[in-house]
Amino acid sequence: MLIFVEQVSERLLYILDFAFKDRGINYRLTNDHFSFLEAEGPKFNYSERYVANVPQLVPASILFDEEIIIYGLDVKQFEQEACLAFNGIIDPLASMFYVLSRMEEYTATVFDDHDRYMARNSVLFKYNWLQKVMVDRWNAAIHNFLNRLGVLPEAFEPGKVNMLPTFDIDNAYAYKHKIGPRKWLATAKDFLQGNKNRLIERKLVRQNRGSDPYDSYDTIEAISKQGFEVKMFWLLGDYAKFDKNISFRNEAHRQLIKHMAQQIEIGIHPSYKSNSYDYLIHVEKERLESILDNPVKSSRQHFLKLKLPYTYESLILNSIEVDYTMGYAEEIGFRAGTARNFNWFDLSKNRKTELIVRPFAYMDGTLNEYLNYDPETAKEQIKLLYDEVASFGGDFIFLWHNETITNYGIWRGWKSVLTYTLSLHQSHE
Residue 318: closest CA among 352, 349, 287: 287
Domains of the chain are 2-148 (no CATH), 161-174+212-428 (3.20.20.370)
Q: Specify the 3-state DSSP secondary structure of 207.
A: coil
Residue 338: closest CA among 384, 394, 390, 398: 394
Q: Tell how many helices (H) and how many strands (E) occur in the chain.
A: 15, 15
- Name the amino acid, one letter, at 207: Q
What are the per-10-residue average pLDDT scores of the chain (429 residues)? 97 98 95 93 95 95 96 96 97 98 97 97 98 98 96 89 97 78 49 56 62 93 97 96 94 97 98 92 98 98 97 97 98 98 98 98 98 98 98 97 95 97 81
The alpha carbon torsion through 280, 281, 286, 291 (nearest 10 deg) reads: 100
Strand partners, 166: 231, 399
Q: What is the pLDDT of residue 187?
A: 47
- Report pTM: 0.93
Strands, DSSP E only, in 205-264?
231-234
Q: What is the pLDDT of residue 204?
A: 56
Separation between Cα atoms, residue 357 and residue 200, nearest integer Å: 44
Separation between Cα atoms, residue 383 and residue 332, nearest integer Å: 12
Residue 401: closest CA among 256, 248, 219: 219
Q: What is the pLDDT of residue 299?
A: 98
Q: What is the pLDDT of residue 210?
A: 66
CA angle 112, 115, 119 (to 5 degrees): 50
Q: How many C-beta atoms lie closer than 10 Å to residue 225's C-beta?
A: 10
- Cβ atoms of 364 and 375 within 8 Å: the answer is no
- Cβ atoms of 170 and 216 within 8 Å: the answer is no
Separation between Cα atoms, residue 10 and residue 357, nearest integer Å: 18
Decide the pairing of beta strands 81-86 and 89-90.
antiparallel
Residue 171: closest CA among 311, 323, 366, 302: 302
Contacts of 129 (CB under 8 A, 6+ apart): 82, 123, 337
Separation between Cα atoms, residue 234 and residue 215, nearest integer Å: 14
